[in-house]
Amino acid sequence: MAHLPSRPEMESAYTRRDASYDGIFWLGVRTTGIFCRPSCSARKPHPENVEFFASPKEAVFAGYRPCKRCRPMETNGAPPEWVGKLLREIEQHPTDRFSDPRIRSMGIDPARARRYFLKHYGMTFQAYTRGRRLGLSLEQIRKGADLDDVSLGTGYSSHSGFRDAFVRTFGNPPGKSRTADCVVTCWIESPLGPLVAAATSDGVCMLEFSDRRMLEHQFTRLRRHFKSAIVPGTNPHLTRLQQELQEYFAGTRTQFSVPIIFPGNPFEQKVWKALLTIPPGTTASYQDIARKIGSPKSVRAVGRANGMNRIAILIPCHRVINKDGSLGGYGGGLWRKKRLLELEGSKASLEFFEPWPSARAR
């Protein structure tokens, strides 16, 4: 229930069929075993028969199956309209400060913005806008901009305030950051749900579905590996990634050319490099991967390393299945694994796949 609105607020939202709450929470109906979006047009259940979830995955794990009317699993990855409005405003005015009164003037509740950004971006809305400003300032500094111009041009009223915020974020003062790097993150829409991507100046270092439970842990590992701040923004690698993903989901691309970097321990590196050799349209078993890396008895360790892959789709861990032909596990959800394999035209046997859990026994 972390980061969910209050129960009265959620009850009011689904009673009104308020689409602005789509993506904020999902509701499961105990009497039917079905879960829906808040905006679902189906007959609204009595509040005592409803429980709330922070993600479709939580609802599925609780034994609910998706509603056939509102199709809560089949998102196009677009954030709610009010979130899109905020994001557009930030990109149009990236150096501005967004106070609560300003957010309210846009017809948006600041508390709702904090919850949404904390859930989907791992930071509050104010932290997001601050990171966006500081990320922009780092980019300008690396291009040789004057420090005075940068500090006053990114919304800070004093040099000391800018310097303190910069040091807290990047670890070094602005004057020592001409060659500094950072991990830049952005949100990418997809037919299988929104993806969170991250990249340094060397290449893409993370691509995860935004509802994956390990997302926060992956960010922690990135900070440790790269010893740099993680800020929202974009760079040429992320722009290229977005274009290549569009082509991939459109069925016109099978190989990715955007640079990727995937630091890890030596065993993880071997496994991830082996995954890159699995051609599109084919699959391999965990045993196959273990043999390929010269550790035939390390099947279980291969499974763990496969699960720790933080660059989904590009490093195709979804192409690894069980020896008996069943799908096995997938951090983004088995329904996504099945869709990715179908998209790639895999000849793997998928009859073992159980699309949705049966309704919970009452």
Q: Which residues are catalytic?
A: 36, 317
Q: Amino acid letter at 15?
A: T
Tell me how far CA of residue 151 lies from CA of 96, 142, 172, 182, in angstroms. Answer: 13, 14, 15, 18
Q: Amino acid letter at 245?
A: L
Q: Where are the alpha helices (DSSP H) in the chain?
A: 7-15, 56-61, 81-92, 100-105, 110-121, 125-142, 147-153, 159-170, 215-226, 236-249, 266-275, 286-292, 299-308, 334-343
CA gap 70, 76 in Å, rounded = 13
Walk across the sheet containing 26-29 and list its strands. Answer: 50-53, 26-29, 34-36, 65-66
The angle at the Cα of 76, spanning 221 to 28, to the nearest 5 degrees, equals 85
56 and 26 in contact (C-beta within 8 Å)? Answer: yes
The upper half-sphere exposure of residue 205, i.e. CA atoms within 13 Å in the direction of its Cβ, equals: 23
CA gap 340, 330 in Å, rounded = 11
The DSSP secondary-structure symbol of 156 reads -
Phi and psi at residue 222, in whole multiples of 5°? -65, -45
CA gap 130, 127 in Å, rounded = 5
End-to-end CA distance of the chain: 22
- Look at residues 118, 112, 120 and name the one whose alpha carbon lies nearest to residue 12: 112
CA gap 269, 228 in Å, rounded = 21
163 and 185 in contact (C-beta within 8 Å)? Answer: no
